[in-house]
Amino acid sequence: MTTPTPDVLSEAEQGRCQEFFPTTANSIQNNIIHHLMSFQGRDPERSGASDIYKALAFTMRDIMVEKWIKTQKTYYAKEKKRVYYLSLEFLIGRSLSNAIINLGLWDEVKQAVEGLGYSLGEISEQEEDAALGNGGLGRLAACFMDSIATLKIPAYGYGIRYEYGLFNQQLINGYQVESPDNWLRYGTPWEFERRVPVFCVQFYGKVTTYQDEKGCFRTKWIDTEDVMAMPCDMLVPGYKNDHVINMRFWAARASRELDLTHFGEGDYIGAVQHKVSSETISKVLYPPDHNYAGQELRLKQQYFFVCATFQDIMRRYKKKNAMFDDFNDQVAVQLNDTHPAIAIPELMRLLLDVEGLNWEKAWDVCTKTFAYTNHTLMPEALERWSVDLMGKVLPRHLQIIYEINQRFLDQVAQQYPGDIDKLRRMSIIEEGYPKMVRMAHLAVIGSHSVNGVAALHTQLLKERTFKDFHALYPDRFNSKTNGITPRRWLLTANPELAGLINSRIGTGWEVDLEELRTLEPLADDPEFREAFWQVKLNNKKRLTDYIQLTTGVEVIPETMFDVQVKRIHEYKRQLLNALHVIYLYQKFVSEPDLELPPRTVIFAGKAAPSYWRAKLIIKLINAIAEVVNHDPRIGDRLRVVFLPNYNVSQAELIIPAADLSEQISTAGTEASGTGNMKFALNGALTIGTLDGANIEIREEVGEENIFIFGLNAEEAAFERIRNSRTPEQICRDNPEVAEVMEALADGSFAQGDRNLFKPLVDSLMSPHDQYLLIRDFESYLACQQRVNEAFLDQQCWLRMAVLNVARMGKFSTDRTIRQYANEIWGIPV
């Protein structure tokens, strides 16, 4: 619907132009042209889509920065309490469409871009994803920023400006091959590199004591190696509310003093080497997900960003305050997992060594300032640093950690006299060779709030991971079920569905997702169902084209799109899904007349580069696809695709096209999941276990509108010990399971090579398989059969899908953030 751009501004437009920046199609177009010429040096008539993308991004940034300045002024004016959200990861994805939508300028920008001869779609495609995170944890941080801005909470995100984000994944011969994500190659129009404030971060060195002018013994950290932290800001606009917040990402820069010493000594090469090694700190994102690696550079990244962040917090605090007694009335710090937990001894160091508070006062302020979010129950994912490493890199912090621990253990010993084992279990220091610092214990002890990210997860934290701590501090533990932002995951990603919803119930759901509930009656309206189906089909056609383009596989949009997209990990059980694909394949071959709905099974996800088992699972899925997709006996009834390089923008394309959402982790392993929420909000039905937020999704949508199978968390824990049915027994009892395992073992998917997938066969058949795949396989097969039957009854399926959308109100991050603000941060919203 392009209306011709008027040459003369209407009065209404002139009125609006009194704001400094453009808000009409005409003025946006002029601004794009201005940016093209003045800043990019391009001839507007000869510039391409990538030039227009950049110029448009700068135009949106201009609008945001004006609003951001106004927003910041209101904070200072009202001396509001500020929230600092500290996260090593922000999985942002693309920013352009989201910015345009949140600024409420979609129609105007569309018109402006079309006037220049482009579609907004092709312009948006020019943007590279900002992948400064691995998966769910980083994406949660990005969704939180959107909701914080939308709810006008005075908050900042703090993180690292990685020069290389999450690696790119290619598939070569079915194997994952990683390549660097050089996302800043052409710069990014979204960041503001700032020259001030730049902060100095110390490492290594030693600790000395001295007497201050009042005769008190004080501690100093000296002879350190220093690195500078330079801020880069990215702006986050709230949804149509003129509120803009910022995420501040630190980039490492060599310190000038050291550069000069080297140069002074005539050591040019040394100076350059120093520069390179300093700047390594913010070079690359660590790719492990739910798996802790323990490398010195990672610890340095953590401290680098925490130290710079706290200098910035203190700078801002000191503008209005001289005393630290009520620091925690002005500052709340949320730790996204233990990755930034070194902030606890850092704040103690600042309060003790720099500001001169006594221990008791400093500790009181500290615990009232921090709140810690736990993201995992898996022991191998809990961060522990060797005492030796900590003592080398951060000697003063190790001293402080020992002091915190000593005082804490004294308190425990008083409460539980004679219980030596409890002291050993609860200590921040794990005795052994080598001795380790348990960051999760530090985070629990140093915070006034410890939260899990779904109800089950929080319950398991209290009962298992932090049982002793829960007994000691019962009030400290609370639950904050994760969410997703409906602006990105429905409004931006699925504009057709958003449009359909708007046409029936209006737009209130965009900021109050509970309003979707008024869609419920429409689940029984044949006309609405038909329109809903048409939207889904269009989304499936878009994905079909993308699949053809990226993998060469032809799929049929009318088939059931059965989707599992997430990081590849044993606990997420992509292998269980793969076993079901083998089962279906065998069924289609052996019983060609069976009435089963045709399926397109879609996988995507990255494996940590060092996680060879996860990489072998990727190879297996591709090997199965190779066999299935080329077997003429199958016809069009089954296709398998593995889409390479899963990221946020691919998720935005895949999720709106899904019919079935696979959320099949072993119960008690997935803390929450957020992919599960994105799918249900876009009208996919879930097949899943009673794990993480799946449980709460079932509560909301009703058990008749979700497909649940398998052991629950309690049964799974029990089964690991009792082992009532071993994989071997199950294969003996169930020939269908045996047949699937046989095909996996006999090399059917490896050109006869029986060795290739042997490690996977062995773990599946092991009586000690902690993820219980074979134990849940029969239940999964039976559940998939229920899915088949439901899908064959299209009207029934559509009804369920509409009800899923209508009942997803709880899973907005607007709700999650309100709870954090009210219940943890002390900011009533």
**Closest separation between CB of residue 682 and ligand PLP, Å?**
12
Nearer residue to ligand PLP within complex by CB, 560 or 680: 680
* Active site annotation includes 674: yes
Q: Is the C-alpha dihedral spanning 449, 136, 290, 577 positive or negative?
A: positive
Q: Which of 54, 375, 441, 619 is catalytic?
A: 375
Report the distance separating Cα 194 and Cα 209, nearest Å: 36
User: Nearest Cα to 578, choosing from 350, 764, 810, 807?
Assistant: 764
Give CA separation, 459 vs 465, 474, 478, 714, 825, in Å. Answer: 10, 12, 9, 11, 22
Report the distance separating Cα 577 and Cα 663, nearest Å: 10
Q: Characterize the bridge pairing of strands 599-604 and 638-643.
A: parallel
Which residue do the tokens 């003592």 mark? 391
Q: Where are the strands (E) in 443-577, listed by range?
A: 449-452, 477-479, 560-565
Task: Enumerate binding residues for ligand PLP (CB under 6 A).
Answer: 135-136, 139, 566-567, 646-648, 651, 673-675, 678
Nearer residue to ligand PLP within complex by CB, 350 or 563: 563
Report the distance separating Cα 291 and Cα 289, nearest Å: 5
> In 3-state terms, what secondary structure has residue 764?
helix
> In 3-state terms, what secondary structure has residue 433?
coil
Convert 24-65 into a string of H (helix), E (strand) and C (coil).
Answer: CHHHHHHHHHHHHHHHCCCCHHHCCHHHHHHHHHHHHHHHHH
**Closest separation between CB of residue 678 and ligand PLP, Å?**
6
* Active site annotation includes 566: yes
Helix H or strand E segment including 336: strand 331-336
* Active site annotation includes 375: yes
Report the distance separating Cα 617 and Cα 810, nearest Å: 34
Nearer residue to ligand PLP within complex by CB, 286 or 646: 646
Nearer residue to ligand PLP within complex by CB, 142 or 400: 142
**Closest separation between CB of residue 667 and ligand PLP, Å?**
15
Q: Which of 678, 698, 775, 807 is catalytic?
A: 678
> In 3-state terms, what secondary structure has residue 227?
strand
**Closest separation between CB of residue 673 and ligand PLP, Å?**
4
Nearer residue to ligand PLP within complex by CB, 109 or 130: 130
* Active site annotation includes 567: yes
Nearer residue to ligand PLP within complex by CB, 108 or 652: 652
Q: Which of 572, 580, 606, 799 is catalytic?
A: 572
Number of H helices, E strands in the chain: 34, 25
Nearer residue to ligand PLP within complex by CB, 243 or 566: 566
The CB-side HSE value for 644 (13 A sphere, CA atoms) comes to 21
User: Nearest Cα to 637, choosing from 579, 584, 590?
Assistant: 584
Q: Which of 567, 599, 698, 807 is catalytic?
A: 567
* Active site annotation includes 639: no
**Closest separation between CB of residue 117 and ligand PLP, Å?**
32
Q: What residue number has its CB nearest to ligand PLP?
A: 675
* Active site annotation includes 678: yes
Residue 621 phi/psi, 5° resolution?
-60, -45
Residues with Cβ within 8 Å of residue 826, at least 6 apart in sequence? 81, 332
Nearer residue to ligand PLP within complex by CB, 487 or 567: 567
Q: What is the DSSP string of 703-754?
A: GGGSEE-S--HHHHHHHHHH--S-HHHHHHH-HHHHHHHHHHHTTTTTTT-S
Give CA separation, 807 vs 31, 646, 657, 682, 793, in Å. Answer: 42, 27, 19, 11, 21
Nearer residue to ligand PLP within complex by CB, 138 or 340: 138
**Closest separation between CB of residue 654 and ligand PLP, Å?**
9
Helix H or strand E segment including 403: helix 395-415
Q: Which of 674, 686, 689, 813 is catalytic?
A: 674
**Closest separation between CB of residue 138 and ligand PLP, Å?**
8
**Closest separation between CB of residue 144 and ligand PLP, Å?**
13
Question: Which residues are marked as active site?
Answer: 375, 566-567, 572, 674, 678
